[in-house]
Structure 1
Amino acid sequence: MTGPALDSVQEHRQRLIGIGLMCGAVATFACLDAIGKYLGTRMDVLQVVAVRYASAFVLTLLISNPIVRPGLLRTAKPLLQIGRSALLLGSTFFNFMAFRYLQLDEALAILFSTPFMVAILAGPMLGEWVGWRRWIAIGVGFAGVMVVIRPGFGGLHWAAMLSGASAVCYAFYGITTRMLARYDSSQTTLFYSNLFGTAIMLPVLPFVWTPPRSVLDGVLMVAMGAFGAFGHYLLIVAHRHAPASVLSPFMYTQLIWATTFGYLVFANVPNHWTLTGAAIVIGSGLYLLHRERRTHGTVAPNEPR
């Protein structure tokens, strides 16, 4: 196998690797969100956000730092790095605030409008145009989210607006992550994310700090940073293997983890609407994976699908 056929097979393999990394990332984020929701009931949300970044920064610094990686701080797009880091910080803050008032599955179901926004933005901003089949699959997945939150049926809590703001930040974060994947290393991008969040939040920490109530709280504060750093590293690497429009629908799988943790940790029993919506979301993601595996080898690399 040579020429275009070999290139197509290799690109197909890269996309599947990216999808696998994306699924691993969102599973890790579900752990981070569950810890963030728990700690948010025991301390100020600003403290939770600050500790999340500070612990992630320290942990990653032990493994990847300018001493062992001399070119770590070198970036071709410094302003884009700052903008991406600010978007992630905003998404994290809005998300953790929403967790104080909403169940995990409710907050994340709203956040899952992100793939729809990414699909709209990826064309004009990245040149990654989405074909009609993927539009339909994304639309079906979004409909599953609507089944979960049921707008207009009993009304939404005002905190849903916080989840909406988090979704907007996260959509642009996904786009800028893909942009930076063309210029900077994964380690550089992760380093700047943690550095920016730590630099912004540490000055705030003395004004909101309260000591952990238990050893478990202290352990979870560190673990939150570890999950955050590892999850975002997987996300950054995933965007090196596949376009944002291919990866973003698979964040829907986080709904499964969110529902599971919500039940096990917070005794939030999902209702039949949540289960029905989750089934639709999962079905949409499986169809996208099926299309990726079946058609990529026979479609020209730049042809929308």
Structure 2
Amino acid sequence: MTVVLPPPARRRRVPVRQVLCLLPLLLVAVVAVHHRHVLAEGFGHLATAKWPWLLAAAGATCLTWVAAAVTRQGAVVERLPGLRLLATQFAAGAANHLLPTGLGASAVNLRFMTVCGLPLARSSAALALYLLAETIGRLGLLAALLITFPHALRLGTLAPDTAIGPLLIGICAALSVAAGALVCVRRLRTAALSFLRTALGEARSVHMRPARALALWGGALAFPALQAAGLAAVGQALGLPVPPAHMAVAYLAATVAVALIPTPGGIGSVEAALILALVAAGGPVAVATAVVLAFRIITVWAPLLPGALTLGALVRLKVI
């Protein structure tokens, strides 16, 4: 008599992709609940604002995703699929506000480029080139505006405890630790030199094509300019008594100052720095606070949920 054994129980596979699709929505809910008072106050200020200026701020925010897509395309020689690239920038914006500054967008774009067929080393080099161009564009625009409007920021109006000395000391310490690690760790130094050679080769290839170079540097300048224009539009909507050019200087100075602070999307640090910068530009504290809260509602919180949904859809469709 033969005994029929039952088939072995199948191990259920964890639906990793489905979990990744839902994770951005969960993070949005957590961040929104944590900052619910800021959201309520920001929406209250929006209700009393001049709507044409708010629409202009929203339009400038939408154009920042186009500028980011143009810059990303300019950082690689190969032609990237345009609509998917633009959707990825929108989704990357949401990821950037849910993870420490820069990590979310970098991870999303790195994955997108590798799915498009670029090797990991070249994708990383393109990512580094984008970050370098964006940094140079932001600093260059700030320098040009400070030369044109040298008295835009009156730092003497700030309290002494807002000095940036501790921040500069922290930055110098971090750079010293990184330099020491590169000098002392041979394997790390070898990997860094190899990546540097790849990055330089990628940059050389991009700049041999005028269209790519124009997209890279044009987008790198347009991106912070559009962000600054959005803040200036919100300031006009709420009646902030500061010239728009001075508000642009305040925005660029504040974002440069908090670039190395690892908070999700700069939430918290950007608000504080923007308020201080607008006060230094001559704005009253109460109105400057209202402008910053309304600006962050438009640029961060309003796109956060649709951006998270787009991110989940891109993961499900295997675009990233």
State the TM-score, normalized to the length of structure 1. Answer: 0.28
Q: Which has the higher contact order (CA 8 A, sep 6+)?
A: 1
